């Protein structure tokens, strides 16, 4: 199989997994700005094709939102694929270095917390779910 076709399959499956979980994919800088200009809390999952994204971050992203408190807006950008959108999202993560996969929790377009790759890689999905839900408890309203 040609490498590009193989990667298209992997990227497509990774995109589908997170959007099927309820996250809105933003693929351009303009879409990022529009999505993050919304009032309220937003969780941005920076998606990736690496093993810790597929084995930990995406499953955690899907599970964490089934909780009493959660962000009002669920968004995702894809590092290495939608580069301009990812770069724009990272501009909102002021004070945090680029990291993928990662999660950024924002309130009214301002970052309040990040879960970077080093808090995902080598951890179980349940550990990451717990971290996310702790952030939801601190910053989000009941649904």
Q: Which of 43, 52, 65, 74 is catalytic?
A: 52
- Catalytic option among 14, 32, 45, 50: 50
Give CA torsion, residues 43, 36, 23, 59, to 10 deg: -30
With contact defined as beta carbons under 8 Å apart, do 37 and 109 qualify? yes
Q: Respond yes or no: is residue 140 known to be catalytic.
A: no
52 as an active site residue: the answer is: yes
Beta strands in 1-143 (DSSP E): 24-25, 41-47, 73-78, 102-107, 110-115
Question: Which residues are the active-site residues?
Answer: 50, 52
């Amino acid at each position: 199989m040609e490498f590009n076709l193989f990667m298209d399959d992997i990227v497509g499956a990774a995109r589908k997994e997170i959007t099927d979980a309820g996250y809105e994919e933003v693929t351009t800088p303009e879409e990022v700005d529009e999505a993050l200009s919304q009032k309220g809390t937003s969780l941005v999952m920076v998606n990736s094709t690496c093993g810790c994204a597929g084995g930990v971050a995406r499953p955690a992203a899907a599970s964490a939102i089934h909780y009493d408190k959660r962000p009002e807006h669920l968004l995702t950008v894809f590092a290495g694929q939608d580069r301009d959108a990812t770069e724009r999202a990272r501009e909102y993560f002021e004070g945090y270095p680029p990291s993928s996969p990662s999660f950024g929790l924002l309130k009214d377009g301002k970052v309040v917390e990040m879960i970077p790759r080093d808090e995902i890689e080598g951890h179980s999905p349940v550990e990451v779910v717990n971290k996310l839900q702790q952030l939801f408890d601190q910053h989000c309203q009941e649904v």
